[in-house]
Amino acid sequence: MDYRVLGGIRKLKEIKPNFLKSSYLKNKLADFLFKRWLRKFKKNFNPIRTDKVLVVSMKALGDNVVKANSFKIMAEKYGKENLYIMCRDKWSSIFQELDYNVLEMKKIKNPLKNAKYKIEFFKKVNNLGFKEVILFEFEGTEEVLEGIVCDNKIGIYNKKQNSYMRRVVEIDYDKTYILDRQIYLLKELFNEDFTRDEIRPDIRELFHSKKYNNIISIGIGASSERKTMPIKNMGDILKMILKRYPNEKIILLGSGKKQEEYARKLIDYCKTDKIESFVEKVSLVETIRVINDSLFFLGYDSGLSNVAFALRKKYVCLFWTDMTTWEHRFNDLRIIKGDGKNPINDGYHGTDILNSIKAEQIKTALIELKV
């Protein structure tokens, strides 16, 4: 389907009111049933006392991996045996590989089945008896805070969630760099100051040997098509990389049907057997291993770029916005933006900033990174 048509369909979905969506009434009923159970559960529940601490980190892949060193600090302070990390099941394998206690929460599409699942899940969580709950998020997760019985809840300030928290760390969410948010939270928890270098994530301990040789890893996906380039733009960048590194093979990384199709079209466009897609073919941990073993990583503003950041891998990130809260500024990486002039658009992917990035900018970045 033409990307301009897909863009129009997306815009129609965005303006469609919630109450007109088929899942609206099912979600309302499921929410009512869960809250009804929760009120009864809290009324009859007698919490036990333990030294266990729960850290809630429910967001996407990138949001989780950038917290790796903060988790290490918490494990040192509380004792790793007492620290539990609650995350989505999609990312739990990372924390399990790092030997943390993990409470993985699923999201079931059927609203009524999801309500039943949440009832059993929060029974399990509350029976562990946490003395402290740390909301390591910066938005959302209201239902998680509501579902946990604990008098000592602390987290980043959010007006909606403030009623569930005993202590809050107030920040300007739209202006505070992601690592600085962690520094403010850790200061509140432990009354200690930390630097960005101390907080910068490091997950190199995941791998003790090399599996892949002579490869360059490319992250082709992101949380929104607005953060990804049209096929022609990325395809021309890949052609430039293959010309510059004739002895290397390019591995495309990502997940999901859309990214699988994107990878197929990129390979068709480049017409070479030196590009291989691992999209939907390997596990998350194996995807991380590929990045770890690469000469360098190139990708969009995405979870995999933050994986490269946490692996201390030299990487180039193709950025889509002037927003700076996620813009890492360390010497072993480069954030690339276009000037917004003469972008190559397909009506679906990217922004003018992203789609005006030139191959010469990437060449310059690779020279600066000495790869």
Residue 140, pLDDT > 70, answer no
Q: Looking at residues 51-69, what average pLDDT do you find?
A: 94
**Residues 347, 3: contact at Cβ < 8 Å?**
yes
Residue 109, pLDDT > 80, answer yes
Say if 44-201 and 210-369 have the same CATH topology. Answer: yes
Q: Where are the domains of the chain?
A: 44-201, 210-369
Q: What angle do CA 145, 150, 155 make, to 5 degrees?
A: 50
Which H or E run contains 153? strand 153-156
Q: Looking at residues 167-179, what average pLDDT do you find?
A: 87
CATH fold group of domain 44-201: Rossmann fold (3.40.50)
CATH fold group of domain 210-369: Rossmann fold (3.40.50)
| pLDDT greater at residue 327 or residue 312 | 312
Predicted confidence at residue 11, as pLDDT, reads 61
Q: Which residue has the tokens 């789609």?
A: 355
Q: What angle do CA 188, 194, 199 make, to 5 degrees?
A: 105
Displacement of CA 348 from its chain's centroid (Å): 22
Residue 11 structure tokens: 């815009």
Predicted confidence at residue 16, as pLDDT, reads 56
